[in-house]
Amino acid sequence: MGVFLRVLLVVGAVLLVIKLLKSRRKPPEPPPPAPAARPAVKSPAEIVACAHCALRLPQAEAVQAGDGRYFCGEAHRRAAEQRLD
């Protein structure tokens, strides 16, 4: 009888340890969501080249002359216009 109780206790203890180990193990974390498309990056189509020095820059930063050409800055726009005169 004593042996039976001891076996029962050991089995119970083993089951308890297994249960504790399983509960301690964290469930697998879901993969992080894919980063959303970066809105700050503009499409390559908006890159223009300076008509004076051929520097490539975003259209938003470029200076556009009256004839539609783009320049990297006001100085190059003026330089190009003076060259035409």
CB nearer Zn ion, residue 12 or residue 78:
78
Output the smallest distance, CB 83 to Zn ion, in A: 12
Looking at 48, 50, 62, 70, which residue binds Zn ion (CB under 5 A)? 50
* 51 Cβ neighbours under 8 A, 6+ residues apart: 65, 69, 70, 71, 76, 80
Output the smallest distance, CB 63 to Zn ion, in A: 9
Cα–Cα dist 53/75, whole Å: 11
Cα–Cα dist 30/27, whole Å: 9
Let me know: does 71 contact 80? Beta carbons within 8 Å: yes
Residue 77 found at the interface with Zn ion (CB under 5 A)? no
Segment contacting Zn ion (CB under 5 A): 9-17, 21-29, 40-48, 68-76? 68-76
Residue 48 found at the interface with Zn ion (CB under 5 A)? no
The two beta strands, 63-64 and 70-71, are antiparallel
Footprint of Zn ion on this chain (CB under 5 A)?
A: 50, 52-53, 55, 72, 76
